[in-house]
Structure 1
């Protein structure tokens, strides 16, 4: 393995991993002249190859940057626990958060302005403005994107074949999904369509599904304040659709209370035919968990007339408690790990070669954090090292060129999702649940949340 490849090793591959956390400052016993930064994004111990890659990357970064020590952590972002850690000064130097979080973190002064540091990066000015608009305020810069995502349908190609469905032609509407799910369950005995409902995931999916019906979750009133907007036909249709699959078709199974990690395990085990996720983000975890790459299918986000899909990003931000030296070190790490392999074709090729040699996925189609032209340039550079069945992503990729990208709620998104989880759980666990009544009750809860976050 070439030295330069080792220096960039893991940057692109690590972008596709779901990880994360530790705190600013110098570790006990460390050289007082050494800058110690703690970074979210270290793969879990169970993901052996990715963890080894991350550790090698840390070693090479430290070799290139004498005087900087990187301490990784695999604790993922959780808005509730990290609010306390940030307030108490024990959060990591580098935060890895969903795009829903920056507005509140910026408003509370919990993340640093890194405009001076990122101005030194060759690639900064070319970052996707659709994401950067949430991370900048006048001349201040509070973060950079690590990766972007959009909802789509994930499905098991082998199960499709067993059920008599064409694995190259996934469903494109919710009615087709319902029909496919019923056929899968009837012919294979497996769950036709799986759903996630806990840990804010039920509200997250209700939001994404509502967008495909042309609905919204919040809207600005005449005074400029955001209010709940989901108590109408689009969200009601989503809840009724869930009821049909669960209680009329019996195509969702009985295990309907779980989060994304639970559904991934069932999907890897071949127990679920279809579900909604961000297909590129999920794929590395699917493979790491033992899933067969040939079985992985990615289709468009099913639609009900809107031609829209929920889109977001994972962004990197620096703790406001970081010193000037720590801010500089954190931005160096961001550039090394997340930006250069998506901007410099030579580094991208070397990174891809190293990742492929270690058995990690290379070439998973993603939403670009730079321009489409830059993305295509990078894809051409890594073409010889692609080890992913890219053709299985073709229906999903084609949809990204035509769908509108709708962002997550811009105020208190995670709190809104948490308030909506019970609705999804209710319609999937209680055949007598009244969707209209549930929406009316939730409207009050969400409006209270919005008022508290805009006062």
Structure 2
């Protein structure tokens, strides 16, 4: 599941695009004879700063490519309506899709093959292999450009840590330390020390993240297009029992157990919540959309336990429709390479992008899971250092620890519907002290397999 930032940043965008499609994706050209390239850029309600940043970058690109007229359009990724948009030719020429949907789309022939183009650009071998795997078929063909990713992180309120007598510069590193700190916050401040998302499929997303941090495998890919559900595993059971103890033994989770991405961010930004897990890239939304004070924010890596433990990651891919013609494909590749990729690979592009964002009061330096190798990432971070405007010292736990963790992608079969099944499980555990964890997982596993068998 993508980390659902409410408002996308033009170029350094948050993972979720939201909005209404505007314009047709296969326009041939404008009155000047230029090729019109429609690119998914804005969510409805995006602030003026985002538009200002894009306007600067649009001019930069068109100066380098005077035969292309870039048109930014609003776009919302919705799996149920995508097929109709594709069939009707109403998609932008360039748009983004989340990792969890990419495999299905490429298997259905709904994405443009860009294998040759990526290889010709010379950086196919620089991608994080786990991330590029999200957009490859079984033969290794590539169907898009991974443009940004995130890893799960532990977000914490520094003010509540201080009020509880905890050191905000020494965040917890194990789940037991998280539990102890959550209890201290609840007892000393009266606020929820810890909370988790529980609805809108986000509960299943976060339950999966914590299960993976305890070495769980939620689903087995059988290698023949079929999947076997493995929700009923030790890691998921341990996570549910952990939540039960925080809720019923420690009373450290407050009294709101119907939280989704937006509402948990609101509670956190308002100072009503000490800790929660979510994508590492949520800082921008917390500060800009939920009015959190930057000095209150802290971020560290999600704790992991056991040899098989990993950190759940996600993100999205810049792709094109297989229905566009060769001219639009070539222009689309130029745009994706310039707008998304070169700022990760080229000093001048990285600094121009960072400056445009900083000048438009957009965040620069928000922690992400690099889509390219560590050496390339480290170099890019050095290039943009003069423009970083987020409190990176308060995110040191994440920056220092993320490369020591094993990234794990989301399971591919019926991802969102199965997350919905797990919403029900986590809600039951948090609202019924005597909930039978074994019975809940057995049923969820059975229901998940029925979904997989029927897909």
CA distance in 1, matches of 2:158, 2:358: 24
Q: Which residue of 2 aligns with 1:167?
A: 168
- 1:41 touches 1:74 (CA, 8 Å); kept in 2? yes
SS at match of 1:176: helix
Task: Flag the 1:372–1:220 CA change in 2: closer, same or farther, 3 A.
Answer: closer
Report how far residue 68 of structure 1 moved.
3.4
- 1:194 touches 1:274 (CA, 8 Å); kept in 2? yes
CA distance in 2, matches of 1:243, 1:181: 14
Report how far residue 99 of structure 1 moved.
1.3
- 1:20 touches 1:73 (CA, 8 Å); kept in 2? no
Task: Flag the 1:102–1:221 CA change in 2: closer, same or farther, 3 A.
Answer: closer
TM-score by length of 2: 0.88
- 2:25 touches 2:89 (CA, 8 Å); kept in 1? no
286-295 or 304-313, larger mean C-alpha shift: 304-313
Q: Which residue of 2 aligns with 1:157?
A: 158
SS at match of 1:191: coil
Equivalences, count: 442
Task: Flag the 1:33–1:262 CA change in 2: closer, same or farther, 3 A.
Answer: farther
* 1:417-432 matched pairs, under 5 angstroms: 417-432=419-434
For residue 19 of structure 1, the aligned residue among 9, 17, 20 is: 17
CA distance in 2, matches of 1:113, 1:29: 23
Q: Which digits, 9 at most, give the CA deviation of each residue in 1:359-385, with x for residues without a partner?
A: 222223332222211112112222222
Q: Which residue of 1 aligns with 2:242?
A: 241
Report how far residue 32 of structure 1 moved.
9.3
Task: Flag the 1:256–1:76 CA change in 2: closer, same or farther, 3 A.
Answer: farther
CA distance in 2, matches of 1:36, 1:340: 22
Q: Which digits, 9 at most, give the CA deviation of each residue in 1:261-293, with x for residues without a partner?
A: 2222222222211110122x1112222222222
194-203 or 306-315, larger mean C-alpha shift: 306-315
SS at match of 1:401: helix
CA distance in 2, matches of 1:366, 1:26: 33
307-316 or 25-34, larger mean C-alpha shift: 25-34
**Is 1:50 aligned to residue 36 of structure 2?**
no
CA distance in 2, matches of 1:370, 1:120: 17
* RMSD, aligned CA: 2.7
CA distance in 1, matches of 2:440, 2:81: 28
CA distance in 1, matches of 2:74, 2:254: 32
CA distance in 2, matches of 1:20, 1:46: 9
- 2:15 touches 2:316 (CA, 8 Å); kept in 1? no
For residue 380 of structure 2, the aligned residue among 349, 369, 378 is: 378
Q: Specify every segment of 5 or more residues in structure 2 that has no aligned partner in the other structure, as ranges.
A: 1-8
Q: Which digits, 9 at most, give the CA deviation of each residue in 1:187-212, with x for residues without a partner?
A: 11222112112222111111111111
Report how far residue 63 of structure 1 moved.
4.4
- 1:185 touches 1:251 (CA, 8 Å); kept in 2? yes
Q: Which digits, 9 at most, give the CA deviation of each residue in 1:136-175, with x for residues without a partner?
A: 3336320011112111101111111111111011112222
Q: Which residue of 2 aligns with 1:413?
A: 415
CA distance in 2, matches of 1:409, 1:277: 17
Task: Flag the 1:39–1:242 CA change in 2: closer, same or farther, 3 A.
Answer: farther
* 1:191-210 matched pairs, under 5 angstroms: 191-210=192-211
Task: Flag the 1:75–1:258 CA change in 2: closer, same or farther, 3 A.
Answer: farther
- 1:24 touches 1:321 (CA, 8 Å); kept in 2? no
- 1:110 touches 1:319 (CA, 8 Å); kept in 2? yes
Task: Flag the 1:304–1:119 CA change in 2: closer, same or farther, 3 A.
Answer: closer
- 1:180 touches 1:192 (CA, 8 Å); kept in 2? yes
- 1:197 touches 1:425 (CA, 8 Å); kept in 2? yes
Q: Which residue of 2 aligns with 1:439?
A: 441
CA distance in 1, matches of 2:257, 2:283: 22
Report how far residue 11 of structure 1 moved.
6.7
CA distance in 2, matches of 1:243, 1:88: 49
CA distance in 1, matches of 2:43, 2:442: 41
Q: Which residue of 2 aligns with 1:403?
A: 405
Task: Flag the 1:50–1:413 CA change in 2: closer, same or farther, 3 A.
Answer: same
Task: Flag the 1:232–1:354 CA change in 2: closer, same or farther, 3 A.
Answer: closer
**Is 1:367 aligned to residue 369 of structure 2?**
yes
Q: Which residue of 2 aligns with 1:129?
A: 129
CA distance in 2, matches of 1:78, 1:44: 15
Q: Which digits, 9 at most, give the CA deviation of each residue in 1:220-256, with x for residues without a partner?
A: 4698842111213221121122222223333222322
SS at match of 1:166: coil
TM-score by length of 1: 0.88
* 1:37-436 matched pairs, under 5 angstroms: 37-86=37-86, 88-137=88-137, 138=139, 140-220=141-221, 225-279=226-280, 281-289=281-289, 290-306=291-307, 307-436=309-438
- 1:42 touches 1:54 (CA, 8 Å); kept in 2? no
Q: Specify every segment of 5 or more residues in structure 1 that has no aligned partner in the other structure, as ranges.
A: 1-9
CA distance in 2, matches of 1:107, 1:237: 35
CA distance in 1, matches of 2:339, 2:27: 22
